[in-house]
Structure 1
Amino acid sequence: MAIKSDISESRTPADIVKTLRSGIGPVSEEVIEEIQARIPEYARPSDEIYIKVVRMAVEQAIEGFLDRIESPDAPWDPEPFRMIGKGEAAEGRNLEPLQAAMRLGARVGWRRLTELAGPLGLSPQSLYDLGETIFVYLDQLADAAAEGFEEARAHAAGEMERRRGRLLDLLLSRPPASPDAIADLAKAAAWRLPRTVACVALDDQHGACRMPPLPPDVLTGPGRALPCLLVPDPAGPGQAQALEHALRGHRAAIGPAVPLAAAATSLRWAGEALDLSRRGVLPRGLLRCEDHLATLVVFKDEELVSALAEVRLAPLAHLRPNQQDRLAETLLAWLRHGRGAGEVAAKLHVHPQTVRYRLRQLEELYGDQLADPDIRFELEIALRARQAVMSGR
């Protein structure tokens, strides 16, 4: 704000500024003393470098205010106070101490102006205009500092995110990176090394994987070929519930908990589970690999499983599709739940006599093979794979 013309009735703004500049030193000292006495964050009497920085900031603020009085229309450079805001961010503080210091400095400056009003020949209106200029200028300083502060915070957050991205790449690399390299990057990324981790594979069918809100220690990789998360200490208190809450509504697969060095293995299993979910073999939504290990093992080598099924299910091949389905379902229930017709009937929700009839058919088709434990084991694998494929259609 420009100082109104009634100042010039006695003295010009240049004369006033000249007088005020001669007193910058004592005013700066008074401001610094007040700041250090009242704001604990700036009380570092033994830190000469820090005191020098504070003095420089105070003097720049006072000089800038006097320049504003002398040349109201001159362009103002906010960069020094943007740098001060960046410094506050680097110190790990919020802006409250700086804003309090600015207000305190403004009060000291206003107090000194009122004391000098008589010797300077300032009318009440001129004093009012100077006071208003102080507080407009204070707002500008605060805005510049806030801009620098936010810029520094954004840059620091971006750099930390980049470090965590590189850490995730390192943890998922094959062959595994050295423990020393991982430890160094984890320290730079402010990430505590956990004993175990679990990886989460996220569905990205539309090419724009959106990360759910997550705890700060979860590493995220939305831009990877398989978008994923790396969750530290997944068995820790409340971790499972927090993860399930965060992933609610997402199609994702949570890999098994493994040692940190085996993170890539957890992600591989999670990716395979997610693929089976897309194909309909496993349910949609949020999956835990630990709940579907048998299916994952069966589908680990589908060509081999298909070859096994072709051999072990050959006795059913000549039957009509409906017959194949009924006998395959009955045989799998018999293998999984016991050899009593009543127990199998309860699992299939059919009459025990129906089960006995089907079992007689199976005995005719398979003969002595059903007495061989190795063949029964292979039959269960083949039938589980067939069941998973049929349920996915």
Structure 2
Amino acid sequence: MVNGSPLLVGDGPQGGRPEPARAAPGPVPGGLHEQLRPFMPDITTEVVRAIRTEIPEYARPMDDTYMHVVNRGVEQALTGFLARLGGAGADWEPVRATYQHIGRGEADEGRSLDTFQAALRLGARVTWRRVSALVEAEQLPRQVLAPFGEALFLHLDEMAAATTAGYTEARLHAAGELQQRRSRLIDLLTTDPPVSAEAISDLASAAQWPLPRELAVVVTDHALHPKSGRPIVPPEFLTRFDEQPGRIVVPDPDGPGRARAIAGALPGMRAVIGPTVPLREGARSLRWALDGLELSRRGVLPDTEIVSCSDHLSTLLLFQDEALIDALAQRRLRPLRHVRSPQRERLAETLLCWLQSGHNASEVASRLAVHPQTVRYRLRQLDEVFGPALHDPAAQFDMQLALHARSLRPSGL
């Protein structure tokens, strides 16, 4: 349908991509189009009746305007066919433009082309049947059947091709507009300070995106895999891959199957998913995901799988201001700098493990895979290096933070 009009409307815009050249039908007997012209009103009536009867989508007996357009469309199709039979000079471009316009209209109405193309095929069958009956009644010569049939089905094929071209063009255009709206929606959902719920709702409706209660933002290093193309994600995910890093807004990320869908869409790709947040707090999920992605690039967080910020909150907290961590390490771990490497690294590792194990030497030995006596020897060394600070609870807490950050940094101390 085009603006509420089914089948054919002759005032559509012209243009579209040119169709490939097609083989011309065999010779048509001269004057055939004039012989057929007197029968065209009856054929038109029968085609319209068949379409209304056999295709429910076109059966609107109470809609006079609609039925007028159906009649007009069928009449125009048959008139155009007669014009083509009349000679090689017939201009196909206006007919092509009409059918491209119809295809665009069907796409704008959100329908597939199946119904329209069924009407085309039905019209061709009825026309062929009526002309065959005229031949049997000796009102037309029998030798016209073969070239007539060839010309009819070529005309049908070209009408279908023009309709498909217009339909495809409109679908691509609509998809582009929809993606633009969805890209703007991503920006709206992740802006700081947040916009109003009404603004989000209005744009979500225009973008055909059902509003979730919660969301999470995934950021990706998709440019690292140029040969793999852009990730293919479920349609309910909002995506933006026209910039680096890419962004994906996942609705209701804690719902059934969501984690599997995310992992399936981003196999082997460096990606970080931010925390689940209320609808208007997407900026926070994006901010944490970006922080996580930067730490993943540096090797602080894993880079071989999808990283969830919720699994690394303490690391994200530690690295919010690395200058503070450096200052803390300078204050609490300075004595270790006077110990030569590699002994310094062994003592730092033992101290962190001891603090994490609740000062249990046997557990430290098990975790480090060394003899308990080795642990006790190192602890005596640590006592000599740090003195009373080693047994100060506040200093121990600071040491554990600084040592944990050190263990995550590739460069270490």
Name whichever of 212-221 and 44-53 sits farther off: 44-53
- Distance in 1, Cα, partners of 2:220 & 2:44: 58
Alpha-carbon distance, 1:42 to partner: 2.0
Alpha-carbon distance, 1:207 to partner: 9.7
Q: Residue in 1 aligned with 2:13?
A: none
Q: Residue in 1 aligned with 2:21?
A: none
- Aligned to 2:236, what secondary structure does the other structure show? coil
What's the CA shift string for 1:290-313, capped at 9, x where partnerless? 222221111110011101110010
Runs of at least 5 residues in structure 2 that lack an aligned partner in the other structure: 1-23
Alpha-carbon distance, 1:224 to partner: 3.1
2:282 is the alignment partner of 1:263? yes
Q: Residue in 2 aligned with 1:32?
A: 48
Instruction: Specify whether residues 88 and 377 from structure 1 end up closer, same or farther in structure 2 by C-alpha distance, changes over 3 A only.
Output: same
Instruction: Specify whether residues 56 and 374 from structure 1 end up closer, same or farther in structure 2 by C-alpha distance, changes over 3 A only.
Output: farther
- Aligned to 1:317, what secondary structure does the other structure show? helix
Verify the 8 A CA contact 1:280 1:391 in the aligned structure 2. Answer: no
Alpha-carbon distance, 1:223 to partner: 1.8
What's the CA shift string for 1:53-96, capped at 9, x where partnerless? 32222111111111111123422020111111122222222222
- Aligned to 2:338, what secondary structure does the other structure show? coil
Q: Which residue, 60, 70, 77 being the options, matches 1:61?
A: 77
Letter in 1 for 2:247: C
Q: Residue in 2 aligned with 1:307?
A: 327
2:341 is the alignment partner of 1:325? no
- Aligned to 1:16, what secondary structure does the other structure show? helix
Alpha-carbon distance, 1:142 to partner: 0.7
Instruction: Specify whether residues 28 and 121 from structure 1 end up closer, same or farther in structure 2 by C-alpha distance, changes over 3 A only.
Output: closer
What's the CA shift string for 1:25-53, capped at 9, x where partnerless? x3323212211211122222333333233
What's the CA shift string for 1:84-118, capped at 9, x where partnerless? 11222222222221111111111111122123336
- Aligned to 1:306, what secondary structure does the other structure show? helix
Alpha-carbon distance, 1:321 to partner: 2.1
Q: Residue in 2 aligned with 1:161?
A: 179
- Distance in 1, Cα, partners of 2:403 & 2:136: 102
2:365 is the alignment partner of 1:341? no
- Distance in 2, Cα, partners of 1:239 & 1:384: 32
- Distance in 2, Cα, partners of 1:372 & 1:43: 88
Alpha-carbon distance, 1:348 to partner: 1.0
Map residues 1-393 of structure 1 onto 2, 5 A cutoff: 1=24, 4=27, 7-8=29-30, 12-13=31-32, 15-20=34-39, 23-24=40-41, 26-77=42-93, 78-117=96-135, 121-203=139-221, 210-286=229-305, 287-390=307-410
Q: Please report the RMSD computed on the Cα atoms of aligned residues, expressed in angstroms.
A: 2.2
Verify the 8 A CA contact 2:50 2:122 in the aligned structure 1. Answer: yes
Alpha-carbon distance, 1:260 to partner: 1.7
Verify the 8 A CA contact 1:17 1:70 in the aligned structure 2. Answer: no
Verify the 8 A CA contact 1:210 1:222 in the aligned structure 2. Answer: no
- Distance in 2, Cα, partners of 1:349 & 1:389: 23
Verify the 8 A CA contact 1:2 1:72 in the aligned structure 2. Answer: no
Letter in 2 for 1:219: L
Alpha-carbon distance, 1:121 to partner: 4.6
Verify the 8 A CA contact 2:219 2:293 in the aligned structure 1. Answer: yes
What's the CA shift string for 1:235-290, capped at 9, x where partnerless? 10000011112111101111111112111211111111111121122222222212
Letter in 2 for 1:265: R
- Distance in 1, Cα, partners of 2:266 & 2:412: 23
What's the CA shift string for 1:342-370, capped at 9, x where partnerless? 01111111111111111122222223323
Letter in 1 for 2:38: T
Letter in 2 for 1:115: A
Identity rate, percent: 49
Instruction: Specify whether residues 113 and 14 from structure 1 end up closer, same or farther in structure 2 by C-alpha distance, changes over 3 A only.
Output: closer
Verify the 8 A CA contact 2:288 2:309 in the aligned structure 1. Answer: yes
Verify the 8 A CA contact 1:16 1:120 in the aligned structure 2. Answer: no
Aligned residues: 386
- Aligned to 1:193, what secondary structure does the other structure show? coil
Instruction: Specify whether residues 48 and 327 from structure 1 end up closer, same or farther in structure 2 by C-alpha distance, changes over 3 A only.
Output: farther
Name whichever of 261-270 and 229-238 sits farther off: 261-270
Alpha-carbon distance, 1:205 to partner: 5.6
- Aligned to 2:161, what secondary structure does the other structure show? helix
- Distance in 1, Cα, partners of 2:206 & 2:254: 25
Runs of at least 5 residues in structure 1 that lack an aligned partner in the other structure: none
- Distance in 1, Cα, partners of 2:133 & 2:389: 109
